[in-house]
Structure 1
Amino acid sequence: MKQINSNTLLELLQNDVRELLLQCTLLQNTDPALLVKQPAEGRWSVAQVLEHLNIYARHYILAIEQKLHLNQTGANDVFTPGWLGNYFTQLMKPLDNNSLKSKMKSPSNAVPSAQPDAQAMLQEFINHQHHLLNLLQIARTANLDYIRVATTLSKLITLKLGDTFRFFIAHEQRHFLQIENTLKALQPFVAHLQVK
């Protein structure tokens, strides 16, 4: 796997999180009726996507924080992605043309409720992103290769801390592409709202 400077990686990831926060600002200014409307039967609303992301954030933010709290490793200059972490990251991350490599079915424990509170889900997501920015900053004093974090799949399946950050943020980027596509699909509904 190609090595990357640890601080460069963390800075790139912080920039990715800041970009997600900018997109959240747009969502805060979106008609609340749009955030809870499903674009088609069986497809998630924006609020449901946000709840799905929050389910993952509740696990990974806490798990990362606990590992960093116990950190006794000291920083490493260069991070080498692990094969599993790199695989998961590449599977999740949107391609350069804003498309996805493949569709994926969410595990049953990460499926959102039918009608989540859009404003509450958005605010929770924003709070998680600010927390994540802090954890990325703290991680500058940690060994991104040595510290391992359990995945949501199993406590026995762990990823390097650097890969955990990469995968987790790529998962969020993937679903923000879904949010963008959902809002595009709802454009006829927007026109209907404006006529009323």
Structure 2
Amino acid sequence: MPAFNSKTLLQELHNDVSSLLNVLNSRIMPQPRAALLQPPAPGSWSVIQCLDHLNSYGLYYLPQLKAALDRGEHRGFPAAATFKSGWLGNYFTNLMQPKPDGALKSKMQAPKDHRPTPQPDAEKVLAEFTAQQEQLLRLLERAQRTNIGRVRVPISLTKLIKLSAGDTFRFLIAHEQRHILQALRALLVATGNNNTAVSMQYLAG
């Protein structure tokens, strides 16, 4: 399994989340709300539905990550120089992570309790997503002081399976990148752009 310099990994993840916020503020927020609520095709998700889906994961994982970091700090687990990914955490991350050209390695159906509603409240979803990303940035900063390999987080599907905090951060942010690219594709359709090829470069803001 891959090993990472812990500080470098956390800084790269922090940069990834900052880029997602920049994309939100520069590419998504200025658009008419009607465009953000327009599905690109029947049965496909609109921009707001993509964000609503991500918010549902944040509502679970952000408190779990905070609790894990709280435990690490309370138990005095010092930050380690190296973080080694677990096989399951690395698998989940690679499954979610888009390829450089934006293509997905696999398609999957969202669990029933993480599917967005047909007509979400756009302003509420945008505000929640912004707040969650700001909280995620703060958690990544806190994680610099704790051993992210020793503290663990139960996955949303079953609390019987736990990932390290480091792998949970990696998986969660890869999942966000996946669906922000989906949101950008939906936005291109809604604004009349026939070219919906969106690479990871779009997430550079």
Q: Could you say whether these structures have the same fold, taking a TM-score greater than 0.5 normalized by the shorter chain as the test? A: yes
Q: Give the Cα separation in 1 of the matches to 2:49 and 2:13.
A: 24
Q: Give the Cα separation in 1 of the matches to 2:188 and 2:29.
A: 16
Q: Give the Cα separation in 1 of the matches to 2:174 and 2:21.
A: 14
1:62 match: 63
Q: Give the Cα separation in 1 of the matches to 2:147 and 2:133.
A: 22
2:31 match: 30
User: Which 4+ stretches in 1 moved above 3 angstroms?
Assistant: none
Cα-to-partner distance string for 1:135-163 (whole Å, 9 max, x where unaligned): 00000111111111011010011101100
1:184 lines up with 2:188 in the alignment: yes
Classify the secondary structure of the residue corresponding to 1:4: strand
1:52 match: 53
TM-score, L = length of structure 1: 0.94
Q: CA deviation at 1:166?
A: 0.1
Name structure 1 gaps, 5 residues minimum.
Answer: 190-196
1:19 lines up with 2:23 in the alignment: no
Q: CA RMSD in A?
A: 1.3
Cα-to-partner distance string for 1:86-125 (whole Å, 9 max, x where unaligned): 0000000110111111111000010111100112101110
1:19 maps to amino acid: S
The count of corresponding residues between Structure 1 and Structure 2 is 190
Give runs of aligned pairs for residues 1-196 of structure 1, distance below 5 A.
1-25=1-25, 26-71=27-72, 72=75, 73-188=77-192
Q: Give the Cα separation in 2 of the matches to 1:178 and 1:188.
A: 16
Alpha-carbon contact 2:71-2:151 (below 8 Å) kept = no
Classify the secondary structure of the residue corresponding to 2:192: helix
1:136 maps to amino acid: L
Alpha-carbon contact 2:35-2:191 (below 8 Å) kept = no
Q: Give the Cα separation in 2 of the matches to 1:169 and 1:182.
A: 20
1:45 maps to amino acid: S
1:68 maps to amino acid: L
Q: CA deviation at 1:82?
A: 0.4
TM-score, L = length of structure 2: 0.90
Q: Give the Cα separation in 1 of the matches to 2:11 and 2:50.
A: 26
1:88 maps to amino acid: F
State percent identity of aligned pairs. Answer: 45
2:48 maps to amino acid: A
Cα-to-partner distance string for 1:12-52 (whole Å, 9 max, x where unaligned): 00000000000110211011111111111100111111110
2:100 maps to amino acid: D
